[in-house]
Amino acid sequence: MTATPKLVTIFGGSGFVGRYIARRMAKQGWRVRVAVRRPNEAMFVRPYGSVGQVEPILANVRDDASVRAAIAGADAVVNCVGTFDAKGKNNFDAVHVDGAARIARIAKQERVAELVHISALGADADAESEYSQSKAAGEAAVKEHFKSAMILRPGVIFGPEDEFFNRFAKMAKYFPVIPLVGGNTLFQPVYVDDVAAAAEQGIMGQAAGGVYELGGPDIESFADLIARMQKSVRRNRIVIPVPFVIARMKAWGFNLAQTLTLGLFQNTILTPDQVKGLRVDNVISTGAKTFSTLKITPTAMDAVLDEYLYCHRPYGQYTELTESGKNLRT
């Protein structure tokens, strides 16, 4: 008699990190529930597995009944839900704190074996940034309700669908200058599938609970990362350093524009809280449990960036061929 495959519920499973976790668990033979607010926009996850193996379902982390229905019968739960919205219904507290607490509490009540919670590098109750404060409060809530949970703190995540390198590559593609806030701030970018590999170990009970800080092998300043991006996309834009005091004023202005337009303009450019976060290095702390604890070798940026940033080059996928042709003419 064939045993019933195990079931994992992934909240935010159609998002940047969640889709990679879903794909890995489908390959492991698990059934996967992708719990999202808009299942009709998450149908692309279905081909990750065989027919019926990966299914998007409706869930809202702000509602007990919705979360309980999504978790019912699951062997493991992953919380990938996050937000950069400091206001509105899905604000920092509603998503990072209350939502995380709700998922952990109900997962324990439903006797779920494993819980993996995706937090963020820099989570700190004493941080100046409200985002980092809320991430720390969410971690505390998860620990309170589900003591054996695996908490992952990834740094800036890169990969084909990222909103980091792709965002600045688009700026380099269409604008002659790139304004840069916090150019000297250090980052330790981490590849998205490496984060998914860490989560996979937690889901399958192959790693101990606790907090893991996840960063790649490269530590570079923000300015150096922009230079790396420009080299990859074959652009040479002027980078203009923006002092923090000016950045705060601009961010305040963007927020004001959003308020005055009643939300018709959405400030996805720069917020005051993001300016606060850019003042602090985003790297792994000394003594933390990391990829090495999980016996995972993190992927270097050089191995991945060109594979997905080529679309921002002057000649797209034909850039290298065009460059070779120019060399022949000379």
Query: What's the confidence (pLDDT) of residue 85?
Result: 86
Task: With respect to residue 330, please indicate whether it lies within any of the assigned structural domains.
Answer: no
Query: What's the confidence (pLDDT) of residue 3?
Result: 75
pTM: 0.94
| Range scoring the smallest mean pLDDT among 163-167, 173-177, 182-186, 263-267 | 263-267
Q: What is the CATH number of the domain that holds 146?
A: 3.40.50.720
Strand partners for 214: 154
Taking the C-alpha atoms of residue 42 and residue 19, their distance in angstroms, rounded to an integer, is 9
DSSP state of 282: B
Task: With respect to residue 112, please indicate whether it lies within any of the assigned structural domains.
Answer: yes
Q: What is the mean pLDDT of residues 226-249?
A: 97
pLDDT digits (tens, 9 = 90+) for 287-321: 999 999 999 999 999 999 999 999 999 977 767 76
Task: With respect to residue 226, please indicate whether it lies within any of the assigned structural domains.
Answer: no
Q: State which residues form the domain around 64.
A: 7-157+190-215+284-299
Q: Which two tokens stand for residue 198?
A: 């860490």
Task: With respect to residue 57, please indicate whether it lies within any of the assigned structural domains.
Answer: yes
Task: With respect to residue 19, please indicate whether it lies within any of the assigned structural domains.
Answer: yes
Q: Please give the tally of structural domains in the chain.
A: 1
Task: With respect to residue 52, please indicate whether it lies within any of the assigned structural domains.
Answer: yes
Q: Which two tokens stand for residue 106?
A: 């109900």
Who contacts 13 (Cβ-Cβ below 8 Å, separation ≥6)? 19, 21, 22, 32, 33, 34, 35, 36, 42, 45, 56, 78, 80
